[in-house]
Amino acid sequence: MPLPEHPQADNEQLRQVLAALQPEQWRQSLDRSGVHTAARITEETRVQIGQLLKDLSRGLDVLNLPFRKALQELLNYLAGKSFDSLESKQAVAKEIQEIISRLGLRVACPKEGCGLPAIIRCAAAGNSKQGVFQFDHSSSSGRRTTHMGSSTLPRLTLVPIPPDRRRIPTAS
Ligand SMILES: [Zn+2]
């Protein structure tokens, strides 16, 4: 399957992100604001360091974008496919889950009316020994929920990982 084509703007963005990864770029910028090896970090210079970290974080999003697009294309291509065995479905679900986690993504739960960011897996369920794709996520009230998908690979849409409330410290 060919990878999706990227408009020229994306390539230019990629070039800028890669250029910004060169340490000379941020060293000069820090030097100009007086952040030397021996200097203490003041409130003012901390803001600048924070800005550099934000830029790197944004750059990471830009670098991830071509992978995200390619993966979405592949998932579209695989939608509705059936599999020989439970094991092969489980392997595919695991492989999809591994890459979406690395990209900081989830799949939208395909159950009608749900769409919550979910983790995909496949397990035998009820009288389906061949297994069904299942989607684990928190419900809107925060409870763990599993929604059953289909025996064939459902159409999957990539979505961002929701912020984990437990990991966000309360403002002090
Ligand atoms: Zn759901």
Q: Check pLDDT > 80 for residue 29.
A: no
Cα(4)–Cα(61) distance, integer angstroms: 18
pTM: 0.77
Centre of ligand 1 from the C-alpha of residue 105, in Å:
16
Secondary structure of residue 48 in the 3-state scheme: helix
Residue 7 has pLDDT above 70, yes or no: no
76, 107 contact by CB (below 8 A): no
Q: What is the DSSP string of 11-45?
A: HHHHHHHHHHTSHHHHHHHHHHTT--TTSPPPHHH
Q: How far from each other are the two terminal CA atoms of the chain, in whole angstroms?
A: 51
**Mean pLDDT within 44-70:** 89
Per-residue pLDDT at 165: 58
- Between the CA of 47 and the centroid of ligand 1 the distance, in Å, is 40
- pLDDT of 153 over the 80 cut: yes
Beta strands in the chain (DSSP E): 105-108, 117-125, 128-138, 144-148, 158-160
**24: pLDDT strictly greater than 70:** yes
10 has pLDDT over 90: no
Higher pLDDT among residues 99 and 52, named by residue: 99
Mean pLDDT of 87-91: 96
Average pLDDT, the chain: 85
pLDDT of residue 164: 67
Residue ranges near ligand 1 (ion) with Cβ within 5 Å: 109, 111, 114, 116, 147
